[in-house]
Structure 1
Amino acid sequence: MTEHAALIHGEPIPRDRVNAFLKAPRRGAGNCATSHNEPAHERQRRRWATQVVVADELAQQACRERGLTPPDQLSPSQTLTVAEPDVADLGSIVAATLAHSPAARTLLADLEDKQHVPETDVQDYYHRNRDRFLTPAALRRGIDPFGVTAPQDFVPYTQARDGIASELRRAAAHRAFFDWFDRARADVEYAVGHEHPGDPSHPDHEHRH
């Protein structure tokens, strides 16, 4: 049996690193697919964990290439928390990677800093999502944001603008992170039993990420 879970440009990711991640206490969402077949469930957990560990290593390499300095790595005793909304938006592998990996968070922050959101996009978001900008008084009166309204029923654009721009930059950064991750892991070689959990080449694959 090989001692590595994966090879990144020929460099091994030790199985022990995956096992350490699996043994680390964690709460919240982000666990991999469930199964009534316990051995299959454990195999999927190992494959899922391998993806997170590989993503962490790829993010560390990307940070070095970009001259970024992540904070110290989390210790194995620290609890991994993955919020349910993050799993829904990002998928469990990426959400768990961002919770587990300071390098991935550093890379994401750098990508977010580089996003440019045109003013027209911010304005368009404000006008298309009027329901999000009703004032508390308008909400109490049950105002229909897409019906008959008055300007005072809405938070002014000047007050909402920075929050919208930040949200759009964050969404753009997530897309950029997905694109980076897909490219970065394209040439990763996985040992048997550590393949992607959605890889159709093994019989108990699942397509949830």
Structure 2
Amino acid sequence: MSGPAHRPGEHVRPPGGAAALVCGETVGEDRVDALLAAAPPRDREGRPESLARAERQRRRWATQVVVVDELARRACAERGTAPPQEVPQSLLPAVAAGDVADLGSIVAVALARSPAARALLASLEGEQEVPEWAVREYYGNNRDRFLTSDALRRGVEPFDEATPEDFLPYERVREGIVRELRRAAGRRAFFDWLDRSRSAVVYAEGYEHPGDPAHPDHEHRH
């Protein structure tokens, strides 16, 4: 059952020590604490005020990773997709305090940590249809990627002096192109899903997105 509706940007602290509400249900602070403990910061130098700010941002960053995992678990349940086995803690990457506002790092660590996020990405990738025209267009527009070994040794310019014999045949590289285009489309679908799903999240104060301008020390980097 969904909880009460909240206005976008409204700060709440649900009972029970929650970091966020996802579809009205609580995501506990303990899950954020567990990620922070599993991925301790590498940066321990600097002024106390700078370190305090970095730690506040790191907590917000960790909340985003946990929220992506929770959203992915729900999406997998709706799709009937079973996530694979959990990742051993020893394989989780350490996270530097200076990287906490990097959106790419949020998704990268979520995928490294969350079996549900990986399962969802794989499912979305498998659903992507790659039309033949797109494969042929890629082959034609990226001729430098399909030079033969001999042509590479001779330093052939793929868009100038090359002849048809200087390129790998389309039939030989087609499946690889399909896999690459399907993978890219799957990633776009994953990011589209995540953007839509985040609208169902309400964060407790101190757990907002690190790039949210509503809090004073926000930071947004790519």
TM-score range, shorter-chain basis?
A: 0.7 to 0.9
**Which residues of structure 1 form unaligned runs of 5+?**
83-89
Q: Distance in 2 between matches of 1:139 and 1:187?
A: 51
Give 2:9's aligned residue. none
* Residue 136 (structure 1) aligned with residue 149 (structure 2): yes
How far apart are residue 73 of structure 1 and its match? 2.4
- The one-character-per-residue Cα deviations of 1:137-181 (angstroms, maximum 9, x if unpaired) are 111111111111111211111111111111100110111101111
Paired residue for 1:87? none
Q: Deviations over 1:113-153 (max 9, x none)?
A: 11001000000001101111111211111111111111121
- Equivalent residues in 2 for 1:4-15, closer than 5 Å: 4-15=18-29
Of 130, 150, 153, 1:117 maps to 130
**Mapped partners of 2:93, 2:59: distance in 1:** 18
Gaps of 5+ in 2: 1-12, 95-102
Residue 86 of structure 1 corresponds to none
- Kept in 2: contact 1:197–1:206 (CA 8 A): yes
What CA deviation, in whole Å up to 9, does each residue of 1:60-108 have, x standing for no partner?
1111111111123234x332249xxxxxxx8111111111110011011
Q: Secondary structure at the match of 1:6?
A: strand
Amino acid at match of 1:165: V
The alignment status of 1:71 with 2:95, answered yes or no, reads: no
Q: Is the 8 A contact 1:112 1:173 kept in 2?
A: yes
Instruction: State the match for 2:204 in structure 1.
Output: 191
Paired position in structure 1 for 2:37: 23
Question: Partner of 1:158 in structure 2?
Answer: 171
Give the 5 Å matches for 1:66-105: 66-75=79-88, 77-81=89-93, 91-105=104-118
Letter in 1 for 2:91: T
- The residue that corresponds to 1:46 in the other structure is 59
Q: Percent identity?
A: 59
Contact 2:63 2:207 in 1 (8 A): yes
Alpha-carbon separation, structure 2, partners of 1:137 and 1:54: 50
Quick one: which amino acid aligns to residue 133 of structure 1?
F
Give the aligned residue type for 1:18: V
- TM-score computed with the length of structure 2 as normaliser: 0.82
Aligned to 1:161, the other structure's residue is in SS state helix
Partners of 2:159 and 2:183 in 1: CA distance: 27
- TM-score w.r.t. the length of structure 1 is 0.87
1:108–1:173 CA contact under 8 A, matched in 2: yes
